[in-house]
Homo-oligomer: A and B are copies of this chain.
Amino acid sequence: MAPTPDWVKQLKPSGSQGSELLVAERAKSDIPVQKLHELLLTKEVIERKQRILAILKSEKVFDKSQNYFSGRMERFERALAREKKLQLLKRKHKWTLDEFRTASELVGEPGPYGLHESMFRITIAGQGTPEQQEKFGKAAEAYKIIGCYAQTELGHGSNVRGLETTATWNSQDKTFTIHSPHLTASKWWIGSLGRTANYACVMAQLIVEGKSYGPHPFIVQIRDMKTHEPLENVHVGDIGPKFGYNTMDNGFLLFNNVKVPHENMLARFSQVDPKTNKYVRHGSPSLIYGTLTWVRSTIVMQAGSVLARGVTIATRYCAIRRQFQDRDAPEWEKGENAVLNYTMVQIRLLPLLAATFALHFTGKGMMNLYQENQKRMNQTNTSRESNKRGAGPEETESGSDILADLHATSCGLKALSSTIAAEGLEVCRRACGGHGYSSFSGIGPWYSDYLPTTTWEGDNYMLTQQVARYLLKSARAVLKNPTPTNDTTRILSHFQSRVNIGCAFDILGSDEDIVAAFAWRASFLTFEALKHRDEQKKPWNDLLVDFYRLSKAHSQYLVIKNFYDVLRSGEIAQSTSPPLRTILLKLFQLFALHTLEQEGSEFYVSGACSKHQIMLARTSAVMNLLKEIRPHAVRLVDSWGFDDWVLDSSLGREDGKVYEDMFYRASELNPLNKVTVDPYPESEVLFKKVEGGYGKSKL
């Protein structure tokens, strides 16, 4: 392609420039951006991010200019190179774990070392004996062996007990035979396995003397340490392209009676005694209980910042983009109107902007609560083994009612928050109109990579059953003894005490009443579900839809409550200025009333508020809040502090040079423009080229 001609280079966007428009937007608001930024991230994290970002930007391998153009092969190759470079940088700069994680987060793409870092090393540390940690753990730490965690199978996802891969104990030579008896036993979706790993931690059904003992972890070498070719009787590869996550080599893995020595079964909690050939259990990996709570809390908190990327991009672009005139606009405001001024755009973006803060503070609140309780319990129980998994604090066996509550409710919050984030990103993308569809918007690729979060760490639909089960249990407990032991039993007990009197929450006059109305509706649905199950004896399967709604209702209550609590807490009260407190309160109200109005019929049915107030919430309160928040929108997204390098978005540029950037990427970076085609129908050359490249297409 010819270089961009000079006459093109001289062109500018018409009318007010994007940069001027964003300056004007920022001048309209008095929100202290830096203060809010620090409140969200802390000074320490901000400094760390900036320091590491400078290092990454200076390394050529992290150059992003071809990210959106490349096919899968190149993207994978480049992702691997980046993972390698991160390891070298980690060594060079002696990064702490936090620093390394910050670097990975800033790079912002799933990488082929991902599951080695997270699951492989953590499983050895958590479930290996000291000897196994010495042998496998150290080699893994030094990247002499590179592993993955092979649990899911082609035919089996969430249900671990249904796994088909077997590990059969051979008493003669003291080995295990790892075997895949069926095609559906093939390990599938295993991150880092497809091309990268040479070891796998394989979950397999342990069979000793004909008896099955359920799934256990085995360390299995799968590729040659030098040639990297698969070992004999191992069939391994990448599972192919996906909707996103294509920088990761999710893999498949089949074994044909592969033997591994006795020491390769991770034996901290159970093992086969090589002398007696008996299965012995030393305990169970109960730490999972706490770790999962921790992981889910981080997903809730991340959901806020994941969504904030999309909201940042869409808000900035909608502040710049002009379309049509306002029908009722006065004469002196002629010309096309900023898209962000249309209420139909505001109602899509501003509640999501509010959600970014709601989710962030909820996740943070959960993590604080978890840690505080953990600390308190550790003080009374100092003899416990320290947590080696690195992912977060560990659960005691005598977990208090508060932690049990946190564990159960974290399931629902994970489901709700990741759904809000995933679906919210798509709303942001569409709010950008046609240009949202371009990869250069930066939202689509990010959305595609985020989507699996709605499925992993518990499928969002499956999780709601756990929440419902817990709420039913709590409701039964309250009926026996109304003294509350945690927040869930508190609201259920309160509801039960008032159920014959009813309630009268003033959702438009009192923020506290908003929280109470959400508690009331969740409690109402809990006792309804209890009636269906315990009195009417309805089948579990017939109640799944009710359970889903119940979990959603309770989780929405939790977000609203957490957000409200944070706004009243010392941190915000002390560290923020009055305009900041005011706007955060408005964001709280917008998030709460918009959610309430969306779920209107449940609020009616439960009697939590009057029909009139619900109507007013929509037609008046929410619309007024949109107006009040609108002038602060750009500063509010600024306070998330995304660097342009991180966003990698034409539409979301901090300086507003939207059109220049779109044009530059298309005209200067797009490799398709190097290809000159023969446009006419007859073209033997092209047919030959295209037809040459095929395999057979049938099974």
Contacts of A583 in B (CB 8 A): none
List B contacts of A623 (CB < 8 A): 542, 545
- Chain A 79-123, CB-CB to B under 8 Å as 1, else 0, gives 011011101100000000000000000000000000000000000
A242 at the interface (CB under 8 A from B): yes
B182 engages A12 (CB within 8 Å)? yes
Whether B336 pairs with A159 at a CB distance below 8 angstroms is yes
Q: Which partner residue on chain B sits nearest A600 by CB separation?
A: B601
Chain B residue with the shortest CB-CB distance to A441: B243
CA gap between A601 and B181 in the complex, in Å: 53
Q: Is A233 an interface residue (CB 8 A)?
A: yes
Contacting residues of chain A (414-432) with chain B, CB-CB under 8 angstroms:
429-430
* A148-164 near B? 1/0 per residue, CB < 8 Å: 00001011111100101
Knowing A155-B14, A434-B189, the reply to whether A440 touches B540 (Cβ < 8 A) is no
A650 CB to nearest chain B CB (Å): 10
Binds B, one of A29-37, A515-523, A563-571, A691-699: A691-699
What is the 8 Å Cβ interface bit string for chain A, positions 1-15, against chain B (1 contact, 0 not)? 110110110011111
- Is A687 engaged at the interface, CB distance under 8 Å to the other chain? yes
Please indicate the chain B residues that have their CB under 8 angstroms from the CB of A669 in the complex: 240, 695
Q: When chains A and B are docked, how far (Å) is the Cα of A72 from the Cα of B438?
A: 14
Residue ID in chain B nearest A660 by CB atoms: B699
A333 → chain B, closest Cβ, in Å?
A: 12
A181-234 contacts to B, CB under 8 A, are 181-186, 188-189, 194-198, 223, 227-230, 233
- In-complex Cβ contact of A677 among B13, B228, B342, B679 (8 A): B228
Take A14-B185, A691-B60, A694-B65 as given contacts and tell me if A665 and B240 are in contact as well, using a CB distance cutoff of 8 Å: yes
A447 to B657, CA, bound (A): 31
A54 within 8 A of B: no
Does A378 make an interface contact (CB < 8 A)? no
Any B CB within 8 A of the CB of A452: yes
**Chain B residues, Cβ within 8 Å of A159:** 323-324, 336
Contact partner of A439 (CB less than 8 A), chosen from B15, B73, B196, B240, is: B240
User: Are A180 and B1 in contact (CB-based, < 8 A)?
Assistant: no
Interface string of A545-563 (1 = CB under 8 A from B): 1111000000000000000
Question: Which of B14, B146, B228, B697 interacts with A182 by CB under 8 Å?
Answer: B14
| Chain A residues bordering chain B, tally (CB within 8 A) | 163
Contact A663 B154 (CB under 8 A): yes
**What's the least CB distance linking A60 to chain B, in Å?**
4
Chain multiplicity (copies): 2
Question: A239 is contacted by which of B238, B438, B604 (Cβ under 8 Å)?
Answer: B438
Shortest C-beta distance, A640 to chain B (Å), equals 23
Closest to A443 in B: B243
Which residues of the other chain, B, contact A136 by a CB distance below 8 angstroms?
A: none
In the complex, A390 has a CB within 8 A of chain B: no
The stretch of A45-53, A307-315, A485-493, A611-619 that contacts the partner chain: A611-619
Contact A157 B683 (CB under 8 A): no
**A439 contacts B241, C-beta separation under 8 Å:** yes
Q: Given A437-B243, A541-B328, A71 and B73 touching (CB < 8 A)?
A: yes
Nearest residue in B to A241 (C-beta to C-beta)? B439
Chain B residue numbers with a CB within 8 Å of A657 are 699
Q: Which residues of B contact A223 (CB under 8 A)?
A: 679
Chain B residue contacts of A281, Cβ below 8 A: none
Q: Are the C-beta atoms of A240 and B690 separated by less than 8 Å? A: no
A135 within 8 A of B: no
Chain B residues, Cβ within 8 Å of A157: 323, 433-434
Q: Which stretch of A270-278, A360-368, A379-387, A454-462 is in the interface?
A: A454-462
Q: A157-B434, A697-B64 are in contact. Are A611 and B615 (CB under 8 A)?
A: no
30 A-B residue pairs with CB within 8 Å = A1-B237, A11-B183, A13-B182, A14-B185, A69-B72, A71-B71, A71-B72, A73-B671, A76-B675, A77-B689, A84-B681, A84-B683, A152-B434, A157-B434, A189-B434, A195-B675, A195-B676, A198-B679, A238-B666, A238-B673, A239-B438, A239-B666, A240-B672, A241-B439, A243-B437, A327-B540, A342-B541, A344-B461, A344-B544, A433-B455
**Given A156-B323, A243-B439, 11 extra CB contacts under 8 A:** A5-B256, A11-B180, A74-B693, A84-B682, A87-B681, A186-B663, A196-B677, A196-B679, A252-B663, A604-B604, A669-B695
